[in-house]
Every structure is written in C-alpha cells, then in structure tokens.
Amino acid sequence: MNFTAIVREAIDPAQVLSLIGADQDGATLLFLGVVRDHSDGRSVGGVRYETYEEMAAQVLSDIVEEAAEAADTDRIAALHRIGELEVGEVSVAIAVSTPHRAEAYEASRYIIEEIKKRLPVWKKERYSDGAEEWVEGRAPDAASAPQTDGS
C-alpha cells in the first residue's frame, strides 16, 4: 500500500522505510532531500516551505500513483515537510521497494522530478546575512531528466 503525506514534523528515515517492503522485493531505495547550507553562492541558514496542504496532498498522491503503476509496485512512501527547517533537516523522503533495482531507481527519480515540477510547495530561503527570498522553481536539465519511452 503506497503512502503519501505532507507533514510539519521532522521526517524519520527509518520510519519511512518501515512503510514499504515485502518478501518478494530485492530492492529498497531511500532518497532524502535535505536543506543545504548554500544556494547560488549565498550562505543559507534555513528554509520555510509553504503550501495549500489539501492540494499538495492530492498532487503528491497522484505522482506516487503514476510511479507505482510504471514500476508495478504498491510499496512507495513519499513525504514532504512544510514549515521552518534548518540546514541538514530532511525536507523530502521517498522510499521505494520493488523486486529489482531498476524499477526502484526509476520510480524514485520520477517522483522527485515530478515533485519539483508539479507539487504546489513554495520555498523561502533564509540567508546567513538575515535576508530572506522566495526561490523560483527550476526544471530539471534535459540530460538528467528520466526517460519516459521505456528506454
């Protein structure tokens, strides 16, 4: 059973992993997106994520269902944290369990790229100099985008 959530509390990677997995799976993959200490040459002290929770929850669920269908699994968990986060804290966790590694990697990559494109979550960075700024989203590079034609 897939699991998705928009959360305000800290994300525990072990708990996320406990939501997936089955005896028939030979691959379990965990992706964690964390707040880094820099952005575009500026020192970052933390970030704030805001969203319309009901809409974001539905979009995240849709993204995970798409990935699950393509990977032929129902063992995916994806969480996105909102609110104030400090450097090093987990903002996104994606766990995928499949019989083989290729499907797990493809599903995880699809989910994070679609989150970046479609999830209605806005990020404000807090810089070490005291300034704050909303960050404009960026589309992934074409060379790093996942293949959708099965190749």
pLDDT in tens, 79-120: 999 999 999 999 999 999 999 999 999 999 999 999 999 999
Q: Report the percentage of the chain scoring pLDDT > 90.
A: 89
pLDDT band at 145 (very low <50, low <70, confident <90, very high): very low
Contact 149, 94 (CB under 8 A): no
Q: What domains does the chain contain, in order, with CATH numbers?
A: 3-132 (3.90.1170.40)
Q: Kindly give the pairing relationship between strand 76-81 and strand 3-7.
A: parallel
Structure tokens at 132: 């704050």
Higher-confidence residue of 149 and 81: namely 81
DSSP track, 31-44: EEEE--SEETTEEE
Residue 33 above 80 pLDDT? yes
Q: Indicate the DSSP class of residue 88.
A: T
Contact 68, 76 (CB under 8 A): yes
What was the pLDDT predicted at 139?
Answer: 53
Rounded mean pLDDT of the chain? Answer: 92
- pTM attached to this predicted model: 0.89
Three-state DSSP class for residue 124: strand
